[in-house]
A and B are shown apart, each in its own frame.
Chain A
């Protein structure tokens, strides 16, 4: 065989071998990409042209660039420098717009890690707002239907703004109440805002991704909610996560929903005055049936022991807390608890129950 022929034969064999190897690796790569949500098979909806362009042009290099930017985030954070975090988070998430993990991580990082090291409540609130905006205004736009993003938003409202672990939680609550108070025309619900006659308010609400029609659906489902409370917003985002996801909503979405609903029962009535800065919450028994239904729906979809225990604990707490506010609601909770607990607790009377569990609650 001539030299040329030998070279051609070697090249053909080598080419065939490489092709076989590539073909063997391809299915694994594809499944991995789908698993991590890096699949760009579907076109990016609602994305501005430059985002689509960048993701297409960079192709596989997106991963390298993302790594570099992410390392910079870590490096800066280790040094206590946070100025660039917002911009870097924006770029990292937009480089992989379908990867819900990226959105969730960076929102959590800003809302929890960075906010926590800020000296004043005002600065902390600013960082929490960065986190909320990243998810609400960008994440949901580029990765619609991702339940993780809704859950993350719900978590932020429920545990960061509404939670008590952060020393500045009082400030957060007041700020949220102020903003919603202004948006709702001094009221606590969209119905108070007279949105049909005030299209500006309607537009402002929609700008914050608070859709009046969904808010109305929730009120029909749960009762009169006070939208100045973080628990209501947590409920709203969990609700949307459950109903707008393309996949089955994960258990965490349901948990957030019932926990937010539960919290709304315990503290769902707000006395707030922006002028005097008075802020006080008390139980809202009218929301009890909605909360109970949230637990029951969760149990129907995810019959998990932890959910049953959580429901039981809620009913106990509700029965005890509401007995001084609304006896009917308290007894409703008690009866539901008794049914849930099974035949072992069927003989317990209401008064006995209050004596036992009331003491425990106080402790």
Chain B
């Protein structure tokens, strides 16, 4: 441990000594203080706060990520080129001591800088949200919808498996599956179809969702200062081109069907509808039934709720400061991963090549999903006809993009900034997962590759 910490201390010292840290602090200050002045929101204070939160930390991550990657690429490779490493490896030090030590040092500096950026953003937001600077009604929205931590509660998922099987049986009685269609694909398509059918509500019709309380009971009814409960819904309508508003009523019932409250709704489709649910609408315990009653034919149209995230309940789960801290931890995990990537590249290649390789791998990881999606969705449309059959090389490329996308998917699953800006609770579990995956598993794999490379490399070979 002493060896590893000695190398970590040296790595941190080198970063500070190179004035990199000072320059980064200056750059972060410019971003945090200057960005809100130039960023364009949607014209509302709420929008501005959300964007400031997301973009300030986002740009800070961009800067820190680039700096971490660059510093990590140079950490080992430049010591090899400068020959300082020769006096280190002839000591009783394993290659993994060197890698882990440098990783700890760089991750430590990254943590410090990220903490500085996070604190600066927090202080800025607090200053901006003083009553004399923000209108009271906007302040209320910001406090209850952004500067908070709300847990998402989804409704019970509908089991459409049996219905899909039944429908497939009925279809097969009248014919066979089309060529190229497997039973699995057919079932998946039928499930989707049934879900969509069930999510449609005609004029005068009703649809009910069941919500189970997290932690066995619903939160105590609270005022706005303590945290409000919100219902969010996304739906489409038959008035697709005209975008006429949909009229209806939301009813809130307990498990026994007793009505606890109603909320009217007149909202345009294809937009996220937000409703504030008074605390007394929630039952003290047990499931909550949320029912949408569509208006009459004169006032409304058929509504189709989004099958993926048509309805969600947001309940207060904590404070903003702790949420911000958890978000920063996850962001730090990304920086730790970048440090690991850079160190491994630096262990294998010279500094310029390591920077290039690391940047290329990062780009591939970030765009793999996009290219995989593009390759499977193709370019054909009803104006220009079906897409051309992809060539052999294209197929290979598509498979490679898909493989990359699958490999990095766990790493890209965390989206702390989006959640933070949306006032969503970042669970401790998610934070632990991020620590395990982003700061454990992936760096571990990179450690193995880096150490193997460092062991096999002849550190005194002539250039």
A and B touch in the complex (CB under 8 A): yes
Using CB atoms and an 8 Å cutoff, list the residues of chain A in contact with chain B: 71, 79-87, 90, 116-119, 126-127, 129-130, 165, 167
From A83, A86, A119, A165, B271 is in contact (CB under 8 Å) with: A119
A84 to B44, CA, bound (A): 12
Whether B42 lies near A82 (C-beta < 8 A) is yes
From A71, A81, A87, A119, B41 is in contact (CB under 8 Å) with: A87
B301 to chain A minimum Cβ distance, whole angstroms, is 14
Cβ–Cβ < 8 Å partners of B63 in chain A: none
Cβ–Cβ < 8 Å partners of A116 in chain B: 243, 268
A116-B243, A119-B245 given; A83·B268 CB < 8 A:
no
> Can you sample 10 A-B contacts with CB below 8 Å?
A80-B234, A83-B42, A87-B39, A87-B51, A116-B243, A117-B243, A119-B266, A126-B43, A126-B44, A130-B43
A16 to chain B minimum Cβ distance, whole angstroms, is 25
* Of B39, B244, B268, B370, most A-chain CB atoms within 10 Å: B268
Whether B47 lies near A83 (C-beta < 8 A) is yes
**Is B97 located at the chain interface by the 8 A CB criterion?**
no
**Is B317 located at the chain interface by the 8 A CB criterion?**
no
Cβ–Cβ < 8 Å partners of B244 in chain A: 167
**Is B197 located at the chain interface by the 8 A CB criterion?**
no
A129 to B266, CA, bound (A): 24
List the 5 shortest-distance A-B pairs measured between CB atoms, nearest first. A117-B271, A80-B272, A116-B243, A87-B40, A83-B47
A80 to B270, CA, bound (A): 6
Cβ–Cβ < 8 Å partners of A129 in chain B: 43
Whether A85 lies near B268 (C-beta < 8 A) is no
How many residue pairs link A and B with beta carbons under 8 A? The number is 51
Cβ–Cβ < 8 Å partners of A117 in chain B: 243, 268-271
A37 to chain B minimum Cβ distance, whole angstroms, is 23
Cβ–Cβ < 8 Å partners of B370 in chain A: 71
A89 to chain B minimum Cβ distance, whole angstroms, is 9
Whether A119 lies near B47 (C-beta < 8 A) is no
Whether A119 lies near B40 (C-beta < 8 A) is no
Whether B41 lies near A86 (C-beta < 8 A) is yes
Whether B243 lies near A86 (C-beta < 8 A) is no
A81-B272, A83-B47, A83-B51 given; A119·B267 CB < 8 A:
yes
Cβ–Cβ < 8 Å partners of B42 in chain A: 82-83, 85-86, 126-127, 130
A-contact bits for B33-77, CB 8 A (1 contact / 0 none): 000000111111001001100110000000000000000000000
A165 to B243, CA, bound (A): 10
Whether B269 lies near A83 (C-beta < 8 A) is no
A119 to B50, CA, bound (A): 20
A116 nearest in chain B by CB position: B243
A82 to B242, CA, bound (A): 19
B373 nearest in chain A by CB position: A71
A86 to B40, CA, bound (A): 6
A71 to B369, CA, bound (A): 12
Total contacting residues, chain B, CB less than 8 A:
24
A80 to B370, CA, bound (A): 20
A96 to B244, CA, bound (A): 35
Cβ–Cβ < 8 Å partners of B245 in chain A: 119
Cβ–Cβ < 8 Å partners of B54 in chain A: 84
Whether A80 lies near B271 (C-beta < 8 A) is yes
A293 to B242, CA, bound (A): 35
B47 nearest in chain A by CB position: A83
Complex interface residues of chain B between 223 and 255 (CB less than 8 A to chain A): 234, 242-245
Excluding A83-B47, A118-B268, 12 further A-B contacts by CB distance (< 8 Å) are A71-B370, A80-B271, A81-B272, A82-B271, A83-B42, A117-B270, A118-B271, A119-B245, A119-B266, A126-B42, A130-B43, A167-B244
B404 to chain A minimum Cβ distance, whole angstroms, is 17
A-contact bits for B264-281, CB 8 A (1 contact / 0 none): 001111111000000000
* Of A82, A90, A117, A118, most B-chain CB atoms within 10 Å: A117
A126 to B48, CA, bound (A): 14
A325 to chain B minimum Cβ distance, whole angstroms, is 33
A230 to chain B minimum Cβ distance, whole angstroms, is 20
A129 to B245, CA, bound (A): 22
* Of A79, A80, A90, most B-chain CB atoms within 10 Å: A80
Whether A83 lies near B234 (C-beta < 8 A) is no
* Of B39, B41, B42, B243, most A-chain CB atoms within 10 Å: B42
Cβ–Cβ < 8 Å partners of A80 in chain B: 234, 270-272
Cβ–Cβ < 8 Å partners of A127 in chain B: 42
B31 to chain A minimum Cβ distance, whole angstroms, is 15
Whether A84 lies near B270 (C-beta < 8 A) is no
A149 to B242, CA, bound (A): 25
A116 to B239, CA, bound (A): 12
A85 nearest in chain B by CB position: B42
B383 to chain A minimum Cβ distance, whole angstroms, is 17
B135 to chain A minimum Cβ distance, whole angstroms, is 14
A90 to B42, CA, bound (A): 12
Cβ–Cβ < 8 Å partners of B267 in chain A: 119
A129 nearest in chain B by CB position: B43
A123 to chain B minimum Cβ distance, whole angstroms, is 9
Whether B268 lies near A84 (C-beta < 8 A) is no
A83 to B244, CA, bound (A): 22
* Of B44, B271, B272, most A-chain CB atoms within 10 Å: B271
Cβ–Cβ < 8 Å partners of A87 in chain B: 39-41, 51, 55
A79 to B312, CA, bound (A): 14
Cβ–Cβ < 8 Å partners of A85 in chain B: 42
A90 to B244, CA, bound (A): 29
Cβ–Cβ < 8 Å partners of B47 in chain A: 83
A76 nearest in chain B by CB position: B418
Whether A83 lies near B41 (C-beta < 8 A) is yes
Whether B268 lies near A119 (C-beta < 8 A) is yes
Cβ–Cβ < 8 Å partners of B266 in chain A: 119
A308 to B210, CA, bound (A): 62
A82 to B271, CA, bound (A): 9
* Of B43, B54, B234, B266, most A-chain CB atoms within 10 Å: B43
Whether A83 lies near B40 (C-beta < 8 A) is no
A142 to chain B minimum Cβ distance, whole angstroms, is 16
A84 to B244, CA, bound (A): 24
A117 to chain B minimum Cβ distance, whole angstroms, is 4
* Of A90, A116, A130, most B-chain CB atoms within 10 Å: A116
Cβ–Cβ < 8 Å partners of B234 in chain A: 79-80
B27 to chain A minimum Cβ distance, whole angstroms, is 15
Whether B50 lies near A83 (C-beta < 8 A) is yes
